[in-house]
């Protein structure tokens, strides 16, 4: 970390962080020097973007190729009625700039693919997966495992959500799991309906996205226990949280000692669900 250099305005803005022993001015500067790529500016991405911006993450990248629809506004809180038909990355960037001038926001109005994932993720400390399809989840997982890039995963369905964190630090005696260890194969196309078909409780992604943002902030601070090796499941209707321990799969095609996948270009990430190693 460089020499401590919070100015008076920053000391005021982040005062509730600065007075905490676990963060202090050094921790806040660490956040200001941190960088996060958020993939998806929708239901999960919106609260994550909101709180990462408020926390003072110095460099925030946003990837999304969609435009704002009025039906998004029930849950995608960084967009407003006047943003309908605008690119989500532009609307989200305006929100970030209005909330915190300390944050340098970088927009990528594109869909993340095997061809551009390396370029888009390059230089970021951690990736936050706020995508809404299995293809992107597996692509980000595989790339982050291969490049040892930390990854925050979140997903929602109707009244339920799940969150976990993959540091992808493979230097320890006991390697951590990856997304493929927990979910070896994607469901067949068409077997899992999306929120346009089944609906989603509007406040649900707020809870899940905030937990993802919390994990990212903790990672950048180097504080607390991350959800690595644990899948946190949230049931909004029952108002229950359940944490399930997950282990690395010794036969995982991407993170095992003898992986089948050594490049994302060798995998077919077709549509939203078809994942198969060549």
CATH number for the domain that contains residue 132? 3.40.50.720
pLDDT attached to residue 260: 92
Q: Is 210 inside a domain boundary?
A: yes
What is the tally of structural domains in the chain? 1
pLDDT attached to residue 193: 65
Whether residue 46 contacts residue 75, with contact meaning beta carbons closer than 8 Å, is answered with: yes
* Residue 195: active-site member: yes
User: Cα dist. 113→80, 92, 164, 203, 267 in Å?
Assistant: 28, 21, 22, 29, 11
- Would you put residue 85 in left (φ > 0), alpha (ψ -120 to 50) or beta? left
Q: pLDDT tens digits, the chain, 278 residues: what are they?
A: 567 789 999 999 999 999 999 999 999 999 999 999 999 999 999 999 999 999 999 999 999 999 999 999 999 999 999 999 999 999 999 999 999 999 999 999 999 999 999 999 999 999 999 999 999 999 999 999 999 999 999 999 999 999 999 999 876 667 899 999 999 888 776 666 666 678 899 999 999 999 999 999 999 999 999 999 999 999 999 999 999 999 999 999 999 999 999 999 888 786 443 444 33
Q: Is 25 inside a domain boundary?
A: no
Q: How far apart are CA 103 and CA 167, in angstroms?
A: 24
Strand partners, 43: none
Q: Is 1 inside a domain boundary?
A: no
Q: Is 65 inside a domain boundary?
A: yes
Q: Is 259 inside a domain boundary?
A: yes
pTM of the complete model: 0.93
Q: Which of 144, 178, 195, 255 is catalytic?
A: 195
Q: Is 3 inside a domain boundary?
A: no
Q: Is 252 inside a domain boundary?
A: yes
Q: Is 134 inside a domain boundary?
A: yes
Domain extent for 150: 34-277
């Amino acid at each position: 970390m460089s020499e401590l250099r919070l100015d008076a305005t920053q000391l005021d803005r982040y005062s509730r962080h600065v007075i905490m022993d676990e963060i202090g001015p050094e921790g806040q500067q660490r956040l200001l020097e941190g960088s996060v790529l958020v993939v998806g500016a929708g239901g999960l991405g919106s609260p994550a973007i909101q709180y990462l911006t408020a926390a003072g993450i110095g460099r925030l990248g946003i990837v999304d190729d969609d435009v704002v629809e009025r039906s998004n506004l029930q849950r995608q809180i960084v967009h407003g009625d006047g943003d309908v038909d605008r690119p989500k990355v532009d609307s989200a960037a305006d929100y970030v700039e209005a909330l915190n001038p300390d944050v340098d926001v970088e927009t990528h109005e594109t869909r993340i693919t095997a061809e551009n994932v390396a370029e888009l993720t390059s230089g970021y400390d951690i990736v936050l997966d706020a995508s809404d399809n299995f293809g992107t989840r597996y692509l980000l997982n595989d790339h982050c495992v291969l490049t040892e890039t930390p990854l925050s995963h979140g997903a929602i369905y109707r009244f339920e959500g799940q969150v976990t964190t993959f540091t992808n630090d493979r230097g320890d005696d006991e390697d951590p799991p990856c997304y493929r260890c927990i979910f070896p194969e994607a469901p067949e196309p068409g077997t899992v309906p999306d929120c346009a078909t089944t609906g989603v409780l509007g406040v649900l992604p707020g809870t899940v996205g905030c937990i993802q943002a919390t994990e990212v902030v903790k990672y950048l601070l180097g504080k607390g226990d991350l959800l690595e090796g644990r899948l946190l499941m949230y049931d909004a209707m029952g108002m229950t949280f359940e944490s399930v321990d997950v282990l690395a799969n010794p036969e995982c095609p991407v993170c095992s000692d003898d992986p089948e996948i050594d490049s994302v270009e060798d995998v077919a990430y077709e549509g939203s669900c078809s994942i198969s190693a060549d």
